[in-house]
Amino acid sequence: MVQLPGGHTGAVEVLPVEVTTPRLVLRPWRVDDAAALSAAIERSLDHLRPWMPWVADEPVDHTTRVERIRALAAGAAATGDAVYGAFTRTGGEVVGGTGLHRRRGPGVLEIGYWVHVDHARQGLASEMVAALTDVGFADAGVERVEIHHDRANAASRGVPAGLGYRFVGEAPDSVDAPGEEGIDCTWAVTRAGWATARAGRAGA
Protein backbone atom coordinates (compact mmCIF):
# COMPACT_ATOMS: atom_id res chain seq x y z
CA MET A 1 0.00 0.00 0.00
CA VAL A 2 1.08 3.58 -0.63
CA GLN A 3 -0.35 6.86 0.59
CA LEU A 4 -2.03 8.70 -2.26
CA PRO A 5 -3.04 12.38 -2.43
CA GLY A 6 -6.17 13.19 -0.46
CA GLY A 7 -5.44 10.57 2.19
CA HIS A 8 -6.37 7.61 0.01
CA THR A 9 -4.41 4.39 0.15
CA GLY A 10 -4.27 1.75 -2.47
CA ALA A 11 -2.38 -1.06 -4.08
CA VAL A 12 -0.45 0.12 -7.13
CA GLU A 13 1.90 -1.42 -9.64
CA VAL A 14 5.55 -0.95 -8.77
CA LEU A 15 7.12 1.37 -11.31
CA PRO A 16 10.23 -0.08 -12.97
CA VAL A 17 13.66 0.50 -11.50
CA GLU A 18 15.21 1.09 -14.91
CA VAL A 19 13.84 2.30 -18.24
CA THR A 20 15.81 2.37 -21.48
CA THR A 21 15.16 4.57 -24.50
CA PRO A 22 17.04 4.72 -27.81
CA ARG A 23 19.64 7.08 -26.31
CA LEU A 24 19.17 6.97 -22.55
CA VAL A 25 19.01 4.90 -19.42
CA LEU A 26 16.59 6.17 -16.78
CA ARG A 27 17.25 4.85 -13.29
CA PRO A 28 17.07 6.09 -9.69
CA TRP A 29 19.84 8.38 -8.50
CA ARG A 30 22.47 6.62 -6.40
CA VAL A 31 24.82 8.03 -3.80
CA ASP A 32 27.74 7.48 -6.13
CA ASP A 33 26.03 9.79 -8.68
CA ALA A 34 26.32 12.75 -6.28
CA ALA A 35 29.36 14.41 -7.83
CA ALA A 36 28.12 14.01 -11.41
CA LEU A 37 24.64 15.27 -10.50
CA SER A 38 26.09 18.32 -8.75
CA ALA A 39 28.28 19.08 -11.76
CA ALA A 40 25.32 18.80 -14.14
CA ILE A 41 23.15 21.09 -12.00
CA GLU A 42 25.91 23.67 -11.52
CA ARG A 43 26.59 23.75 -15.26
CA SER A 44 22.84 24.20 -15.91
CA LEU A 45 21.97 26.71 -13.17
CA ASP A 46 21.11 29.62 -15.46
CA HIS A 47 19.14 27.26 -17.69
CA LEU A 48 17.13 25.71 -14.85
CA ARG A 49 16.71 28.49 -12.32
CA PRO A 50 13.82 30.30 -14.08
CA TRP A 51 11.60 27.18 -13.99
CA MET A 52 12.73 24.75 -11.30
CA PRO A 53 11.90 25.76 -7.69
CA TRP A 54 14.38 23.23 -6.28
CA VAL A 55 17.25 25.15 -7.90
CA ALA A 56 16.73 28.13 -5.57
CA ASP A 57 19.28 26.92 -3.04
CA GLU A 58 21.76 25.40 -5.50
CA PRO A 59 24.65 24.74 -5.57
CA VAL A 60 24.91 22.54 -2.48
CA ASP A 61 27.84 20.71 -0.94
CA HIS A 62 28.52 17.00 -1.39
CA THR A 63 27.04 15.97 1.97
CA THR A 64 23.80 17.78 1.20
CA ARG A 65 23.63 16.24 -2.25
CA VAL A 66 23.98 12.75 -0.80
CA GLU A 67 21.26 13.51 1.74
CA ARG A 68 18.97 14.70 -1.04
CA ILE A 69 19.54 11.59 -3.11
CA ARG A 70 18.66 9.45 -0.11
CA ALA A 71 15.59 11.60 0.58
CA LEU A 72 14.42 11.15 -3.03
CA ALA A 73 14.69 7.39 -2.67
CA ALA A 74 12.82 7.39 0.62
CA GLY A 75 10.09 9.65 -0.73
CA ALA A 76 9.58 7.51 -3.80
CA ALA A 77 9.33 4.38 -1.70
CA ALA A 78 6.69 6.01 0.51
CA THR A 79 4.50 7.37 -2.29
CA GLY A 80 4.92 4.84 -5.10
CA ASP A 81 6.60 7.49 -7.27
CA ALA A 82 9.64 6.90 -9.47
CA VAL A 83 12.40 9.51 -9.67
CA TYR A 84 15.03 8.86 -12.30
CA GLY A 85 18.33 10.26 -13.37
CA ALA A 86 18.78 10.33 -17.14
CA PHE A 87 22.11 8.97 -18.39
CA THR A 88 23.51 8.37 -21.86
CA ARG A 89 23.49 4.71 -22.81
CA THR A 90 27.08 5.09 -23.96
CA GLY A 91 29.31 6.54 -21.28
CA GLY A 92 26.70 7.06 -18.57
CA GLU A 93 26.83 10.86 -18.73
CA VAL A 94 24.17 12.75 -16.74
CA VAL A 95 21.85 14.53 -19.18
CA GLY A 96 18.94 15.38 -16.89
CA GLY A 97 16.27 13.92 -14.68
CA THR A 98 12.66 12.85 -14.85
CA GLY A 99 10.00 11.06 -12.83
CA LEU A 100 6.50 9.69 -12.47
CA HIS A 101 4.47 11.10 -9.60
CA ARG A 102 1.14 10.09 -8.05
CA ARG A 103 0.39 13.52 -6.56
CA ARG A 104 -2.61 14.21 -8.83
CA GLY A 105 -4.80 11.51 -7.29
CA PRO A 106 -5.80 7.91 -7.97
CA GLY A 107 -5.53 6.76 -11.55
CA VAL A 108 -3.29 9.67 -12.59
CA LEU A 109 0.46 9.92 -13.04
CA GLU A 110 2.30 13.19 -13.61
CA ILE A 111 5.61 13.38 -15.47
CA GLY A 112 8.25 15.95 -14.63
CA TYR A 113 11.60 16.46 -16.36
CA TRP A 114 14.67 18.63 -16.71
CA VAL A 115 17.56 18.55 -19.19
CA HIS A 116 21.24 19.48 -18.79
CA VAL A 117 21.94 22.72 -20.66
CA ASP A 118 24.57 21.06 -22.86
CA HIS A 119 21.97 18.53 -24.05
CA ALA A 120 19.03 20.88 -24.57
CA ARG A 121 17.16 21.05 -27.88
CA GLN A 122 18.13 17.50 -28.81
CA GLY A 123 14.72 15.94 -28.18
CA LEU A 124 15.78 14.24 -24.95
CA ALA A 125 12.87 15.56 -22.88
CA SER A 126 10.44 14.18 -25.46
CA GLU A 127 12.30 10.85 -25.46
CA MET A 128 12.05 10.63 -21.67
CA VAL A 129 8.38 11.59 -21.60
CA ALA A 130 7.41 9.16 -24.35
CA ALA A 131 9.11 6.29 -22.52
CA LEU A 132 7.57 7.19 -19.16
CA THR A 133 4.11 7.54 -20.69
CA ASP A 134 4.48 3.98 -21.94
CA VAL A 135 5.58 2.95 -18.44
CA GLY A 136 2.65 4.74 -16.86
CA PHE A 137 0.06 2.97 -18.97
CA ALA A 138 1.69 -0.39 -18.27
CA ASP A 139 0.03 0.02 -14.84
CA ALA A 140 -3.55 -1.14 -15.35
CA GLY A 141 -4.75 1.30 -12.68
CA VAL A 142 -3.51 4.37 -14.53
CA GLU A 143 -6.18 6.07 -16.61
CA ARG A 144 -4.44 9.34 -17.45
CA VAL A 145 -0.94 10.82 -17.59
CA GLU A 146 -0.43 14.55 -17.12
CA ILE A 147 2.26 17.19 -17.63
CA HIS A 148 2.13 20.57 -15.89
CA HIS A 149 4.20 23.66 -16.62
CA ASP A 150 4.04 27.39 -16.10
CA ARG A 151 2.59 29.27 -19.07
CA ALA A 152 5.81 31.24 -19.55
CA ASN A 153 7.83 28.06 -20.07
CA ALA A 154 7.50 27.69 -23.84
CA ALA A 155 10.11 24.93 -24.07
CA SER A 156 8.20 22.69 -21.67
CA ARG A 157 5.00 23.34 -23.62
CA GLY A 158 6.56 21.88 -26.75
CA VAL A 159 7.12 18.45 -25.22
CA PRO A 160 3.52 17.33 -24.57
CA ALA A 161 2.25 19.18 -27.62
CA GLY A 162 4.67 17.32 -29.85
CA LEU A 163 3.85 13.92 -28.37
CA GLY A 164 0.08 14.09 -28.77
CA TYR A 165 -0.99 15.13 -25.29
CA ARG A 166 -4.18 17.21 -25.19
CA PHE A 167 -4.14 20.73 -23.75
CA VAL A 168 -6.65 20.71 -20.89
CA GLY A 169 -6.50 24.31 -19.75
CA GLU A 170 -4.97 26.93 -17.51
CA ALA A 171 -5.42 27.73 -13.83
CA PRO A 172 -3.90 30.24 -11.40
CA ASP A 173 -0.91 28.85 -9.56
CA SER A 174 1.76 30.03 -7.15
CA VAL A 175 4.96 31.57 -8.50
CA ASP A 176 7.69 29.25 -7.26
CA ALA A 177 10.56 30.13 -9.60
CA PRO A 178 11.72 33.47 -11.03
CA GLY A 179 10.67 32.84 -14.65
CA GLU A 180 7.12 31.84 -13.82
CA GLU A 181 4.03 33.99 -14.29
CA GLY A 182 1.78 31.96 -12.00
CA ILE A 183 -0.46 30.27 -14.58
CA ASP A 184 -0.36 26.47 -14.59
CA CYS A 185 -0.91 24.75 -17.94
CA THR A 186 -2.21 21.19 -17.87
CA TRP A 187 -1.69 18.65 -20.62
CA ALA A 188 -3.10 15.13 -20.44
CA VAL A 189 -3.39 11.93 -22.39
CA THR A 190 -5.61 8.91 -21.81
CA ARG A 191 -4.68 5.32 -22.57
CA ALA A 192 -6.68 5.37 -25.81
CA GLY A 193 -5.32 8.77 -26.75
CA TRP A 194 -1.76 7.58 -26.24
CA ALA A 195 -2.31 4.52 -28.41
CA THR A 196 -3.60 6.79 -31.18
CA ALA A 197 -0.67 9.19 -30.81
CA ARG A 198 1.88 6.36 -30.90
CA ALA A 199 0.27 4.87 -34.00
CA GLY A 200 0.37 8.26 -35.68
CA ARG A 201 4.08 8.70 -34.95
CA ALA A 202 4.84 5.18 -36.17
CA GLY A 203 3.07 5.86 -39.46
CA ALA A 204 4.60 9.28 -40.01
pLDDT tens digits for range 144-197: 999 999 999 999 999 999 999 999 999 999 999 999 999 999 999 999 999 999
Separate counts of helices (H) and strands (E) for the chain: 6, 10
What is the separation of C-alpha 87 from the centre of its chain, rounded to a whole number of angstroms?
A: 14
pLDDT reading at 99 higher than 80: yes
CA angle 18, 101, 31 (to 5 degrees): 50
What is the separation of C-alpha 188 from the centre of its chain, rounded to a whole number of angstroms?
A: 14
Q: What is the pLDDT of residue 201?
A: 87
Q: Measuring CA to CA, which residue among 15, 25, 14 is closest to residue 127?
A: 25
Q: What is the pLDDT of residue 13?
A: 60
- CA-CA distance, 1 to 78, in Å (whole number)? 9
Q: What is the pLDDT of residue 72?
A: 96
DSSP state for residue 44 in the 8-state scheme: T
Q: Across the chain, what does the average pLDDT equal?
A: 93
For residue 171, what is the enclosing H or E element?
strand 166-172
52 in helix, strand or coil?
Answer: coil
Q: What is the pLDDT of residue 79?
A: 93
The larger pLDDT score, comparing residue 1 to residue 98, is at 98
**Percent share of the chain, pLDDT over 90:** 91
Start-to-end Cα distance in the chain: 41
pLDDT reading at 6 higher than 50: no
Q: Measuring CA to CA, which residue among 122, 142, 123 is closest to residue 194?
A: 142
Q: What is the pLDDT of residue 12?
A: 46
pLDDT reading at 83 higher than 60: yes
Residues 11-29 have a mean pLDDT of 87
- CA-CA distance, 200 to 135, in Å (whole number)? 19
Q: 6 near 108, Cβ under 8 Å?
A: no
